[in-house]
Amino acid sequence: MAFIDWALHPTELWAAFWYAMRNAPPDEKTNRLNVSGDMKRCYDFLEMTSRSFAAVIQELNPRLRDAVCLFYLILRGLDTIEDDMTIPGAKKRHVLETFHEVIYQDGWTFKESGPDEKDALLLVEFDVVIREFLRLAEEFQTVIADITRGMGAGMAKYTRARVESLEDYHEYCHYVAGLVGHGLSRLFAVSGLEDKSVGERLELANSMGLFLQKTNITRDINEDVLDGRCFWPRAIWGNYAESEEQLIAKTNREKGVEALNAMCFNALQHIPDVLEYLSQIKEPSLFKFCAIPQTMAVATIVLCYDNTRVLDSNVKIRKGEALKLISQSTSIESVKVVFYRYMEQLERKNHPSNPMYEPVRKIIDRTKKDIASTLKGGAPVDLTKEYLVLLLFVVTAAAFFYSYYSERQA
């Protein structure tokens, strides 16, 4: 199956080769960063807990790299507490609500995670993270602690509250992801690597987080329902099913897909803000750090749209596709081309018989129009490199075999 994927998408094979040549094993990466002791252990934890963010964080400008690494680990610790269904509710809420205080308590650790919690070791050795956090500049500490306080309070609220209305859904996603966008933008500005306006236009930063979170929530419906929870708002799924279990049931497949498409539409509405936010990021390593998750999110939400497999399993974009997106997330022009291409894919999937056809079509038309008006060459030509490379491969192979058999016959 993997061979067929590479054969059908040859430019992804090149992207994989490019990625392998540029990326060293984890131990070599941390040695290259010239870190040791507690900070080296923090980068070890970064590698353990994040497949997608570890590489781009380690490529950040040195003025911000350690702060973002520690910011990620602190929020990962907070998220690990929230996700652990074995921690009693009252205990969980207390830890979540006070987490912004314990990051100032040298020596604090947490050893009460459930046996199946994959990131439990981070909390067991959290004193390492705290020691490095306390070494950061005060302006970095202030931003990180403030975001941790807001996120912890929001997570604590939703250990008891359910996501019922669209307002609840927006608020929950703000707490767990939009605030991350706030914090990163403020860190960018405080570091001096970006203009201070980046840390002030927080509505755009919020949309960056919401697009990622809503994409993940939309994709994870099967896994979440089977785990006994659901982050899809009842205001959407309640129109198509009487319960979360019925939502993913094979006997309710047509209505389940309609609910899925409504969720995709809700996420797609953040795309204009995402592109506007990325347009203001100038420092190359920060741009790449911000752009890679967003290009993967647009690829994922387009994959999910009208896709019955989402109701049965956790769908993911191809690994080669992800590596190709990494290679294309280097400038605002190339990112806009990526978004334009996926809007074309979405357009082909958005059939007139689909109840969400018209609202989704409006998002597609607006996005394509906005992108075409800002690109130097206008709208990207609707011609994929995949087939050009494949055609070149076929022609070359045909020429080789023709030459080979001609020589044998001679």
Q: Any catalytic annotation for residue 149?
A: no
The catalytic position among 72, 231, 289, 305 is 289
> Which among 297, 276, 269, 303 is positioned nearest to 370, based on CA atoms?
276
Residue 26 CB neighbour total at 10 angstroms: 16
Backbone phi, psi, residue 227, to 5°:
-85, 0
The catalytic position among 149, 201, 229, 341 is 229
Q: Note every long-range contact of 351-354, with CB atoms under 8 Å and residues 24 or more positions apart, other chains counting.
A: 351/306, 354/261, 354/306
Q: How far apart are CA 163 and CA 172, in angstroms?
A: 8
Query: Rounded to whole angstroms, what are the CA distances from 362 to 127, 274, 381?
Result: 50, 17, 21
Residue with tokens 């199956």: 1
- Which residue type sits at 12? E
The catalytic position among 110, 126, 133, 172 is 172
Query: Which two structure tokens, joined as six digits, stand for 125?
Result: 């050795």
Q: Any catalytic annotation for residue 219?
A: yes
The catalytic position among 43, 110, 219, 340 is 219
- What length does the chain have? 410
Q: Any catalytic annotation for residue 240?
A: no
Contact 304, 266 (CB under 8 A): no
Q: Any catalytic annotation for residue 305?
A: no
> Which among 239, 228, 246, 231 is positioned nearest to 262, based on CA atoms?
239
- Cite the active site residues: 172, 219, 229, 289
